[in-house]
Amino acid sequence: MQAITTLVAATDFSAAAKRAVRRAALIARQHDAELHLLHVTAPFALYPGQELGPADSTVGDATIHDQFDAVARWLREHYGIRVRVAQRIGRAHTEIADYAATVGADLVAVGARGESSMLRLLLGSTTSRLLRVRQGPVLIVRGEPVEPYAQVLAAVDFFPHARAVVEWAGKLAWDGRLRLLHVMEPMDERGLRARGLDDAAFRQRRDERCAIAENLMADLRCGLQGDVESRIETGYPPARILECAGDWHPGLIVVGRQGRGGLEEFLLGSVSKDVAQAAYCDVLLVGQDRGR
Domains of the chain plus CATH, in order, are 1-141 (3.40.50.620), 147-292 (3.40.50.620)
Task: Report the mean per-residue pLDDT for the chain.
Answer: 82
Rounded Cα distance, 264 and 155, in Å:
17
Q: Which range has highest mean pLDDT (38-52, 93-107, 148-162, 168-182)?
A: 93-107
**Residue 257 confidence (pLDDT):** 81
**Residue 96 confidence (pLDDT):** 95
pTM for the full predicted model: 0.84
**Residue 61 confidence (pLDDT):** 42
Note the maximum CA span of the chain.
75
**Over the stretch 241-280, which tens digit does the pLDDT of each residue have?**
999 999 999 999 999 986 443 334 444 457 888 898 889 9
- Whether the pLDDT of residue 124 is over 70: the answer is no
- Cα distances from 25 to residues 7, 117, 168, 281, in angstroms, run 9, 29, 17, 18
Mean pLDDT of 187-192: 71
**Over the stretch 23-47, which tens digit does the pLDDT of each residue have?**
999 999 999 999 999 999 877 655 5
**Residue 18 confidence (pLDDT):** 93
